[in-house]
Every structure is written in structure tokens, then in C-alpha cells.
Chain A
């Protein structure tokens, strides 16, 4: 009887430890969808990109301009073209069923609770951006490249590239290139 009680006494914490380790480790697979901010690329110098072949000339010009702007912004980020080894893919969509004019999707690779960005896709929605002037289009493409670098959204009243509303970012504040706050963010992550 005594030994059975002792056995239970010993086993309870061990079983709890076992359950806890399963709980801590396994559910992270699904909880990755809630992970955000703080994760970054192993290196952004360089970050190889490829632009979709049949992208329109307006979108191409906007992305090219924003790549140049980010490359000279004084951060470690250096976007370089590569047809084969790219980890950033830039493209264009035509969607009249959405309210967004640009989108970025990052793929994270996770090991336990630690994740890093391994791939990103960014697009402009030409239904909106084809009606914009070049600088306004660049404000969207530059914003999306900021997301590629893992910068988050900023508020309507922030005069920065990461302001999430085009009519305020460009229409009100006239921003279409990385501002000091955007640059500080990238330097904080990769500097």
C-alpha cells in the first residue's frame, strides 16, 4: 500500500511534466498564425527579389523606384535581382472586389517558438494603383517592401511610409519614400 502511494506521489509530477511538455511544444504549430512582429530575415544584405514577367510597366516602375529608395535609405537592407535564388517575389493583381491596393505575405519558418522569415510575396492591386501617379504608386510599393522587411503598420496620422492608408500616407502627408522612422525600424531589426 505504502509503495503504491509513493509510486503515485512520484508519478504525478512526472506525468504533469510530460503533459506540460507536449502542451508547450505541439500547439505552437497552430499558434504560429497568431505570431507577429519581432521575427525577421536571417540577413537582408542582400535580399534577392524577382519581379513577375508579365507585370505592367506602371507597377514595374513603382517597385523599381521603391527598391532603389530602400537601397539608398541607409539601412542594411539591400534588394538585389536574382532570377533563381530569390526569396522575395513581386507581382501584380487586378482585383475590384477588395479595398486594398497592396498586399504582402510573409512565410515564416519556425522551430519551437523561434521563427524567421524565409520568403515574401508582395503585390500591387492595379485596379487602384493604375489610376495613381508614379509617386503615389511608389508609396504603396515602398510600403509593401517595408512589410517585406518586417515593419508593421502605422497609424493614419503618422507621416511615414508604413502608414497603412494610401490617401493619408500619400494624399495627406505626401510620403512615398522611407522616412526616418521607417529607417530606424529596419536598422533596429537588422543594424
Chain B
């Protein structure tokens, strides 16, 4: 009995040492922060600068790119980007009749993500305020600021999806607003 106990404890210790040894050898890229060029004070502000305001669903990842932007003593400096296919259900501002657009985000799953602008996830239903930087390709205005998630027909700004991590201007704070009411307020802001 004692031999068995000793063996189990020894095995556990070996595993613990192996795990810690493998970890101690790893450099883990964990933290990416950015400075947003523009902070928006409200929906009107976002609407005014948007080329496209669309309601829809994130369908799939179209492409993950790794752009080498330089080289330091550790090797190439790589910036990761992910292109998502965003299926458009309704256009609130911009060319009507658009069925799908590419939404471009900095980061790649499992490699690096901006801490306060996590990657979209397939199946996410959103209202996105977008800027067209290339024909048919868009990025979200102000990162987390131009992204509103629809959950059970209610709309949430990203500070309410990731509280404590994302902080937005109170003018963008939307918590559980009925989808229809939110869309109406966006349409009203476009006209104003």
C-alpha cells in the first residue's frame, strides 16, 4: 500500500516538474494594446463617419494574413489580420442591396488579439459601423466602439459584453436595448 502511495506521489511530482519545465521555456505573447486614433462620443458621431452601417451575422473566417512589417533581433515582426465574411441582413446606411462584406480585424485567433477589441466570432449577430478602406473591404470604426452585439433581440455595446476590459464613452453605452428601438435610433441619427 505504502509503495503504491509513494509511486503515485512520485508520478504527480514528475508531471508537475515536467509541466513547469516546459512552461519555463516558453515566451508567450500575451498582451497587445493599441491607441485608437479616434474616440466617438455617441451614435451620431459614429454614423456620420460610417461608410456602411449594417445589421447581420458573422458567417465565417475568409482569410488570416500574417504581414511581416519588419525584423528585430528575435526575427520577423508579424502583424496578424483576420478577414470575416459578414452576411448583411439590413443596411442602415450605405449602398443598399449589399448581401455580404468582408470585415477586417487586427489579430488572429490563438496568436494575438487586441485586448479591448477581441476578434469577432462566427455566429455573432451585430450592428457594425464600418469604414471602407478598399472596395468591398471594411474595418470597424474605432475598434470596439463601432460594434454592437445582438443577443436575444437585444443590443449591447462592447463595454457590456466585456465589462472591466472595454471602456466606452457613455454616449455609446447600450445595454439590452430592444433591437428595433436601437435600429430606429441609429436611423434617426443618420438623418440628424
Asked, given contacts A21-B15, A109-B28, whether A98 binds B33 with beta carbons under 8 Å apart, the answer is no
Bitwise, B117-131 to A at CB < 8 A (1) or not (0) is 000000000000001
Judge whether A97 and B37 touch: CB under 8 Å. Answer: no
Q: How far is the CA of A106 from the CA of B29 in the complex (A)?
A: 6
- A118: chain B residues within 8 A (beta carbon): 27
Tally of contact residues, B, Cβ under 8 A = 56
B25 to chain A, nearest CB (A): 9
How far apart are the CA atoms of A97 and B20 in the complex, in Å?
Answer: 40
Are A107 and B39 in contact, CB atoms less than 8 angstroms apart?
no
Query: What A residues does B113 contact at CB under 8 A?
Result: 33
Judged by a CB distance under 8 angstroms, whether A181 is at the interface is no
A186 CB-CB contact with B under 8 Å: no
B3 within 8 A of A: no
Q: B34, A102: Cβ atoms under 8 Å?
A: yes
Q: Which residue of A lies closest to B113 (CB)?
A: A33
The interface bits of chain A over 110-138 (1 if a CB of B lies within 8 angstroms of the residue's CB, else 0) are 11100100110101010010000000000
Residues of A within 8 Å of B39, CB to CB, are: 156, 164-168
Chain A neighbourhood of B38, CB < 8 A: 99, 165-167
| B116 CB contacts on chain A under 8 angstroms | 153, 164
A interface residues, Cβ below 8 angstroms from B: 7, 10-11, 14-15, 17-18, 21-22, 25-26, 28-29, 32-33, 35-36, 50, 52, 84, 86, 89, 91, 93, 95-112, 115, 118-119, 121, 123, 125, 128, 140, 143-144, 147, 152-153, 155-156, 164-169
User: Footprint of A on B, CB under 8 Å?
Assistant: 1, 4-5, 8-9, 11-12, 15-16, 19-20, 22-24, 26-39, 69-70, 72-74, 77, 79, 81, 104, 106, 110, 112-116, 131, 133-134, 137, 139-143, 167-169
